[in-house]
Structure 1
């Protein structure tokens, strides 16, 4: 435990930011939205933010939205590139707007963490989930997509970010 009062306050804040961690099973989800791929070298956050803004503007084109108050951001990375999606959960994949992608996330059990803290994130929610997995003897399901869920109303405030992180777990 830190002895410096400033460090201790920071530690307490970090615990409060990630206090909601556990496991949850999610049924299959049909998602429709936009994606952006960037290189890890010189990550272009402006490009990611531009696609997010385009998604915010175009989300009303998506038919059959199940939860209009939140969006999902699955992602994956491979050797030097990172792909991030901005999606709405829908009832079916019959109509996909021009330039968007529609796909199904299979049912999985996830380690879930609620993060409400500073941006840039401290502590890193993925590092916290990694520690939780180690403590619980759990392993990530390697080829499945991690998910992030955001409320349109509160996803980002001045200097803060609020979202849920879901990391798929190997079961059985």
Structure 2
């Protein structure tokens, strides 16, 4: 686990909004759909890097959901059925999750405990990220993704 600071990220992708227990199946489905439509997105920084973004908590309808995205240099046009967001530069506690996507909650528990143990403050109302560097290389039951939990 480590602390990193990332610059602002301009993202284009698909927003997923569903009941909480359905995200585990809906997010991978949206990722497949985004990959099929990747050619429609202009100025993609790294087409192999998938970035998931979300606000941790039920604060408002605008913040509800999970954004399955790729980073772009500039948001010039957003393809039909997609959305764009800008995640500001922030400080994150980071943990690499390796294993089934159904076990990601356990990795978050470990990360949250590490944050508490290191006297950091979680910022649930900020954007949190999940960055997968080799998008599409993992099997359905095995993912490797870095969990970025916003802290101060």
State which drifts further: 24-33 or 113-122: 113-122
**Deviation for aligned residue 1:94:** 1.4
Unpaired runs of at least 5, structure 2: none
What's the CA shift string for 1:125-152, capped at 9, x where partnerless? 1101111111100011131111101121
**Deviation for aligned residue 1:48:** 3.5
- 1:39 aligned to 2:19? yes
**Deviation for aligned residue 1:86:** 0.9
Classify 1:168/1:35 alpha carbon distance in 2 versus 1 (closer, same or farther; 3 Å).
Answer: same
Partner Cα separation in structure 1 for residue 109 and residue 67 of structure 2: 21
From 64, 68, 72, give the equivalent of 1:90: 72
From 90, 94, 98, give the equivalent of 1:108: 90
- 1:28 aligned to 2:8? yes
Unpaired runs of at least 5, structure 1: 1-20
Normalising by structure 1, we get a TM-score of 0.77
Aligned with 1:60: secondary structure? Answer: helix
Partner Cα separation in structure 2 for residue 35 and residue 74 of structure 1: 9
- By relative contact order (CA 8 Å, sep 6+), the higher-ranking structure is 2
From 42, 45, 63, give the equivalent of 1:63: 42
Match of 2:125 in 1: 143
Partner Cα separation in structure 1 for residue 100 and residue 65 of structure 2: 23
Aligned residues: 148
Partner Cα separation in structure 1 for residue 49 and residue 101 of structure 2: 19
Classify 1:167/1:44 alpha carbon distance in 2 versus 1 (closer, same or farther; 3 Å).
Answer: closer
**Deviation for aligned residue 1:78:** 1.1
Match of 1:78 in 2: 58
Larger Rg: 1
Classify 1:53/1:112 alpha carbon distance in 2 versus 1 (closer, same or farther; 3 Å).
Answer: same
Match of 2:135 in 1: 152
The alignment's C-alpha RMSD in Å is 2.2
